[in-house]
Structure 1
C-alpha cells in the first residue's frame, strides 16, 4: 500500500537551497536547467519544524543526530550524577564500539580511556567521525546500561570512588588495576545488547522510522526509509538573477565618505516547484511499531495515521528556505494531488520533461500535469484512488486526474490518515 503525494509550490525571489559555491542548486532535465531543492534539505526542514502539526508533537520522540551523542548524552550525564569519570569514559567507549562496529573494544583502547595521556581530551575522543542517528530510547538504555556496569564494580574497584579528583584517574592507579577495570567495562554481551535494543518502543526515533537510518553493525538496527522523497525542481527553465547589494555604514553617511561597508552579490531564483513523496504504508507502520512488515495490519496504526495527517500539512506549508531574513521564503502549495493504491508508485515529474512556458506557468503546469496523468491512465489503467486540492484554473485538471471536484488540504490529510487506520 502506497500513498503518493504530488505538490506544486511557487516561490518568488528566493535562494531555497545553495550549492558549495553559494548558488541555487540546479538540475538539467529535458534539455534545460531547472532550479532544484534537494531531498536532504526538504527532510531537514520537515524534521525540525516545530509549529502546528509538527512531527515532534505526535507522541514519539525524535532521533538524536550528532557526532557527540556518546559524549553529551551518555558520558557527561553520568559524570554529572557522580559516577567516576575514568570508568564512565571506558564503558561509554566500549558501548560505542559494540553499537557501531559490532566489535568488542580492545583492552588497551579501553584502558586508555581510564588513564588517558591527555585527560582533558578524553571525553572529546568519544565523538564519532560521522553523524550517528540514535533514538532517545536507545540513548536512554545505553546510559542506564553504562551505569549498571559501573555500579557492578563498585566493591571491586573502590579506588575510583576514593579519588580526590573524580574527573581524573586516581594518582596511584597502576596499569594492572586499570587493565582489570577495562576488562570489566568492555565485557558487553552483543546478543543481550541487540535483544534489549530491539525490544524498545519507538527505539530509533520517529524521524528515523520515517526517513531511515544507516547502520554498519549488526547490533544497531538499520532502518529503511518509509518515506521516499524526490528532489523538488521547477516545472520550467531556471529563472535567476544575481542580486547586487550593499551594507551601509550609518556612522559615516553624511560625512563625505563612502557609506558602503560591504558589497556583495547573491543568487536569487523564482519558480514553480514540483515535489513528490511516496509513503510505503506497511513499512511506516512496521518501523514505528517495531512489528514485521507482513504483520502491519495487525499492529496499532494510530500513531502512523497521526504522522501521516501531520505530514500532509507539513509537506504543503513548510518552506525549505535559506536567506529567510532577506527573502521571506514562505509559500504554501498551490496544488496537492494525493493518491492511494497498491500498484508500483510512479512519479509525475515527466509531465514537465518539456519545460512549461514561463508565461502563465501555473496554468501551463496544470495543463501538462493533467495531460500526463490522463495519458498514464490511458496506458496503464486507473490504479489509484485520488484527491485533489488546488487553486487557480483547475477545471481541466480535475477532469484529467479523474476527480469530480477539488477539496481542501485538511480534508486530504484526514483522508490519507484514514487509509492507514482502516486498511
Structure 2
C-alpha cells in the first residue's frame, strides 16, 4: 500500500554550547561508530519545536501538557460562567478529572483545591474548552460528567502537537494518540571531547584596590559540533488524527519551519548558540522512512582543505545515493535548501530552492497526496 512519508534531514553547526544537559550538567553525548559524539536528545528538540509552534499556528490548533489540569480547566469554566466563584469552578474541574479516573481528590481539610494529575496530561485547547462546556452542562442538569463523556470529548478535536508527537495516558489507553512524527537524537558527525570554561564573576561593590578576588568562580562544560538531524512525518497518520486535509498541510508546513528554526535553549544566555542549518534536505517517499545516519558511521575528520560541514555534506550525498540505489528507493519528490559552496553537493539530491519555497513545495505535494486540487 502506498504511503506518504516526509523525511527531513539537516546539517547544522553550533558554536561552543551546552544545548542539552545530563543529570551532572554535562552536555549529552553518545557513542556511535566507535567514537563519542555530541548529542541533543529528541525530547529536547521536540520541546523546542512545540514552543516554536506558538508563533506558527493559532492557539486553537495547539495543546497544553501539564499536571495542573484542575487549574487549567477551572480557568476555562470560570471564563464561560463568570458568576461562578473560583472555589466552585475548581470543584467542578476536579469532578471532571476524578470522574474520568485521571486524578484523585485529596480533601483532608474539607476544602477542594485545584487538583493535579499524577503525570503530565496532554490535551488540546479545544478539548479543554469542550470539557469545560460539558462540565457546566452536566452541572446544570445535576449530573456528574462521566468517564464515557470525557473519553468522547478527548478523542476528537486533536491539536497539531498531539497529532505530531502523540499522547500516552496509562489510565485511559483508549484516548491514546499514536505520534505521526518521529525525531531522532541529533548527533555530531565527528568525534567530540567536552571542554570546561572556568569563569569568575566580579563583585560590583568591591571598589577598593586592596579588596582582591572574585565574587564567585565556577566552571561550565561545553562542546561545539556539526550536527546531523533527522525527522520523519507520516502524512497519512497525521491526516487520520487531524481529520482535515487543510489542517494536515498546515501542520506539515509548521513542522518544517519549526524543525529548521527552533533550538533547545540550554545555556543560551551564556553561549548565544542560535544558528540556522547549513542545509535542509526533504524527501517525500511512498514506502517507508529512511534515516541516513549511516553516512556518519565513520566520523568526519576535517582537513586543511575542507571543514566538517563540507565533508559532512559530501558524505550525506554519497550515502543517500548508495542507499537509494541499493534498495530501489526513489523519492516521490525532493527539495534542498543549502547555504554556500560547502553544501553545494547536496543540490544534486533534489530541487534547489529557498527555504520558504521548500516549505510551500512540500505543502503542495501534501495536498496532491491527500487528493486536494492543485
| Residues 398, 81 of structure 1: alpha-carbon distance in 2 compared, 3 angstrom cutoff | closer
Task: State how 1:256-335 maps to structure 2 within 5 Å.
Answer: 256-289=210-243, 300-335=244-279
1:374-423 deviation digits (Å, cap 9, x = unpaired): 21122112421322221223454444x3x4x6322111111111111111
1:264, 1:250 → 2: CA distance?
Answer: 18
2:24, 2:359 → 1: CA distance?
Answer: 38
Task: State the partner residue of 2:366.
Answer: 420
User: Alpha-carbon deviation of 1:84?
Assistant: 6.2
Instruction: Please tell me whether the aligned partners of residues 36 and 232 of structure 1 are also in contact (alpha carbons under 8 angstroms).
Output: yes
| Residues 253, 118 of structure 1: alpha-carbon distance in 2 compared, 3 angstrom cutoff | farther
1:396, 1:143 → 2: CA distance?
Answer: 54
- Look up the SS of the partner of 2:215 in the other structure: strand
Instruction: Please tell me whether the aligned partners of residues 60 and 206 of structure 1 are also in contact (alpha carbons under 8 angstroms).
Output: no
Task: State the partner residue of 1:214.
Answer: 168
Task: State the partner residue of 1:136.
Answer: 125
Task: State the partner residue of 1:74.
Answer: 74
Structure 2, unaligned runs of 5 or more: 370-374
User: Alpha-carbon deviation of 1:191?
Assistant: 3.4
In the alignment, is residue 195 of structure 1 matched against residue 130 of structure 2?
no
| Residues 306, 152 of structure 1: alpha-carbon distance in 2 compared, 3 angstrom cutoff | closer
1:76, 1:376 → 2: CA distance?
Answer: 52
Instruction: Please tell me whether the aligned partners of residues 53 and 258 of structure 2 are also in contact (alpha carbons under 8 angstroms).
Output: no
User: Alpha-carbon deviation of 1:238?
Assistant: 1.1
1:308-345 deviation digits (Å, cap 9, x = unpaired): 22222222222223222221111000111110111111
| Residues 332, 254 of structure 1: alpha-carbon distance in 2 compared, 3 angstrom cutoff | same
Instruction: Please tell me whether the aligned partners of residues 209 and 225 of structure 1 are also in contact (alpha carbons under 8 angstroms).
Output: yes
1:50, 1:390 → 2: CA distance?
Answer: 23
Deviates more, 1:210-219 or 1:327-336: 210-219
Task: State the partner residue of 1:4.
Answer: 7
After TM superposition, the score normalised by the length of structure 2 is 0.87
User: Alpha-carbon deviation of 1:77?
Assistant: 4.7
Instruction: Please tell me whether the aligned partners of residues 131 and 153 of structure 2 are also in contact (alpha carbons under 8 angstroms).
Output: no
- Look up the SS of the partner of 1:46 in the other structure: helix
| Residues 72, 354 of structure 1: alpha-carbon distance in 2 compared, 3 angstrom cutoff | same
1:55, 1:61 → 2: CA distance?
Answer: 10
Structure 1, unaligned runs of 5 or more: 154-183, 290-299
User: Alpha-carbon deviation of 1:148?
Assistant: 2.5
User: Alpha-carbon deviation of 1:285?
Assistant: 1.3
Instruction: Please tell me whether the aligned partners of residues 246 and 262 of structure 1 are also in contact (alpha carbons under 8 angstroms).
Output: yes
| Residues 100, 7 of structure 1: alpha-carbon distance in 2 compared, 3 angstrom cutoff | farther
User: Alpha-carbon deviation of 1:62?
Assistant: 1.4
Instruction: Please tell me whether the aligned partners of residues 8 and 282 of structure 2 are also in contact (alpha carbons under 8 angstroms).
Output: yes
Task: State the partner residue of 1:55.
Answer: 56
Instruction: Please tell me whether the aligned partners of residues 100 and 219 of structure 1 are also in contact (alpha carbons under 8 angstroms).
Output: no
Task: State the partner residue of 1:168.
Answer: none
| Residues 395, 141 of structure 1: alpha-carbon distance in 2 compared, 3 angstrom cutoff | closer
1:327, 1:223 → 2: CA distance?
Answer: 37
User: Alpha-carbon deviation of 1:195?
Assistant: 3.2
1:80-137 deviation digits (Å, cap 9, x = unpaired): 8343677655543332134345xxx9xxx87x75xx5253xx314x211211111112
